[in-house]
Structure 1
């Protein structure tokens, strides 16, 4: 009986070690080789790796209880409501965050009856898909930004080309279209929405509200 318990314990340790190695290699590839070369943000690397490791440990330690599916979805839902209030996190960074959390869950709770082949394949699919989507440089986003503009003479339809040229010079963005939202003739300013193409969905121009904060 004691020998069986020793064998079972050794098997559990070996299984945990194998899962930990797969998870560690996957998170290093995702964060170190896919995310960082493109975004150069060391602060998010800390968060991504930490959430992945902590999530992997929690799922591994508590996954033995017969509530694996409900536990996994509950933990994922808990992480989904987390918001970073000190900084603005982009949609793509949030996607990486969920990828790191999902890898921790998959590698800790997935069945390995086939000898880890399916687990390794799932990790490979996630990493390859992330790599391919990250390198879709030919796709551009049409972003928009509200701008308080101080030259109301240029907002006339006849001066649209001059307005676009002035906005390009001031903002450094390749603005291709504008929309007048409101005009304040007392302050001689207008609120306009500028449209431009970018590879990333980022707020590059601070608004008047951001400046006040």
Structure 2
């Protein structure tokens, strides 16, 4: 291993550890995907470092990125947010593996990638709009009543909804809903009542 790769490896390991465990896991608590991001990152780093040592063309490196980018994680259902972390972990491995000869650029891009995901997925910025596919046991012909029923059932504010299917025989509706959960009520602090002294 060259000196440049020896310096790039700890940068890559530190960056993916921060991304997978300090950012992703602390917010979404999925050990399986955090581990998958680390494994993907280290694997891509190893392959790109090998290509660099064999003086493989940069076009092949981008071809590797393209092949990996079309792979789908089929082991479990993942959201587009998880896919964003997937691409970031992949990009970190490529950046640190291919750009090992330029440590300042590698460190700067690694910080940029991790910081971008930290900010983009921050709870205060992304207001945690949720997505549900709801099957109602009634048919609403009025959109206002349908929206009110959805908000009551989901305990939130409906931002957008689309009726996917209406079954007039079984009296059911399937609705694709995007909503914002209502904040949990803050309970008032309990007052401490002093005990009366007995004479």
Normalising by structure 2, report the TM-score. 0.76
Change (3 A) 1:37 1:164: same
What does residue 188 of structure 1 align with? 171
Q: Within 5 Å, which residues of 2 pair with 1:1-213?
A: 12-110=1-99, 112=101, 116-135=103-122, 137-140=124-127, 145-152=132-139, 155-157=140-142, 160-161=144-145, 163-175=146-158, 180=163, 183-197=166-180
- Alignment check: 8 A CA contact 1:52 1:104 kept: yes
- Tell me the number of residue pairs that the alignment of Structure 1 and Structure 2 aligns: 181
**Could you say which structure has the higher helix fraction?**
1
| Structure-1 separation of matches of 2:124 and 2:5 | 39
Superposed CA deviations along residues 100-134 of structure 1, whole A, max 9, x for unmatched, are 11111111111635xx2222112122222222212
C-alpha RMSD of the superposition: 2.7
| Structure-1 separation of matches of 2:19 and 2:149 | 41
- The secondary structure found in structure 2 opposite 1:174 is strand
- Alignment check: 8 A CA contact 1:48 1:100 kept: yes
Change (3 A) 1:129 1:147: closer
Normalising by structure 1, report the TM-score. 0.72
| Structure-2 separation of matches of 1:196 and 1:53 | 37
5+ long unaligned stretches in structure 1? 1-11, 199-213
Change (3 A) 1:121 1:148: closer
